[in-house]
Amino acid sequence: AQSVTQLGSHVSVSEGALVLLRCNYSSSVPPYLFWYVQYPNQGLQLLLKYTSAATLVKGINGFEAEFKKSETSFHLTKPSAHMSDAAEYFCAVTEGWNFVFGPGTRLSVLP
Amino acid sequence: DADVTQTPRNRITKTGKRIMLECSQTKGHDRMYWYRQDPGLGLRLIYYSFDVKDINKGEISDGYSVSRQAQAKFSLSLESAIPNQTALYFCATGGSEDTQYFGPGTRLTVL
């Protein structure tokens, strides 16, 4: 069975600084990978997804993620954090038609 | 109008009560899911349905039941609610691609 780990349950960055949120998955077979964002009191919104077309995936709001098979990783980055990026971020991997989610990383952006 | 809706958005109930959470979707998707979200645990799958006649238990189905009344409707019931079922509950749908689309969530408190 798949498992997903997200290093750091809470990450704080200054406005304008690089955002790096880490995600590692367990399977040796490249699955489909996703990042979702959850703003306070809202549902999950798709940020980006990897479906084997390209290892560097660009998403909404300036985020991107790079799939590295050798490291079984799919880390999320954004060059310059904005206050509006404060939210919880979830990495997910497919297992058949189902998803396995990581525990989430809460991103705080400091002025 | 939202593609995936959940009712109620908030509910407070007492131990032992039966409660139903409802989910409706206008995306025309066959696959529907129920998850619960707890702090630090991410989203865990309760039940999923690939069509009206196909319902499957997820990771944490004990204490829950579901009904797929139509392609567009998928309800989650707690037969006898207990305090550790206090959580945020999400419904999601999935179509021909792999992405899942989430409702806004129902915050359930069991006293």
Mind listing the pLDDT tens digit for each residue in A48-62? 998 877 889 999 999
Q: Does A9 touch chain B (CB under 8 A)?
A: yes
Q: What is the mean pLDDT of residues B26-30?
A: 92
Chain A partners of B35 at a C-beta cutoff of 8 Å? Answer: 101
Per DSSP, what are the bridge partners of residue B37? B43, B88
* Across A20-29, B40-49, B61-70, least confident range: A20-29
Smallest Cα distance from B9 to chain A, Å = 10
Nearest C-alpha neighbor of A79 from the set A63, A91, A66: A63
CB contact under 8 A, B99 and A43: no
Record: contact A99-B100, CB cut-off 8 A? yes
* β-bridge partners, B92: B33, B102
d(CA B50, CA B32): 7
Q: What pLDDT, on the 0 to 100 scale, is given for residue A84?
A: 95
Tokens of A33: 């990978």
Question: Is A45's Cβ below 8 Å from some Cβ in B?
Answer: yes
pLDDT value at residue B47: 96
Phi, psi for A69 (deg, rounded to 5): -60, -40
Average pLDDT over residues A68-97: 93
Chain A residue closest in CA terms to B36: A101
Chain B positions touching A95 (Cβ under 8 A) are none
Residue B97's pLDDT band (cuts 50, 70, 90): low
Q: CB atoms < 10 A from the CB of A107, how many? A: 21
Chain B contact residues (CB < 8 Å to A): 4, 31, 33, 35, 40-45, 48, 50, 58, 90, 92, 94, 98-105
Query: Which of A11-20, A21-30, A97-106 has the largest mean confidence?
Result: A11-20
Residues of B in contact with A103 (CB under 8 A): 40-42
Within chain B, strands assigned E span 4-7, 10-13, 19-25, 31-38, 42-51, 54-57, 64-70, 73-78, 87-94, 100-102, 106-110
pLDDT of amino acid A96:
80
A32 close to B (CB below 8 A): yes
For the cut 90, the answer to whether the pLDDT of residue A103 exceeds it is yes
Q: What is the pLDDT of residues A1-16, one digit of tens each?
A: 788 999 999 999 999 9
d(CA A4, CA A31): 12
Mean of per-residue pLDDT scores for chain B = 93
What does the pLDDT read at residue A65? 96
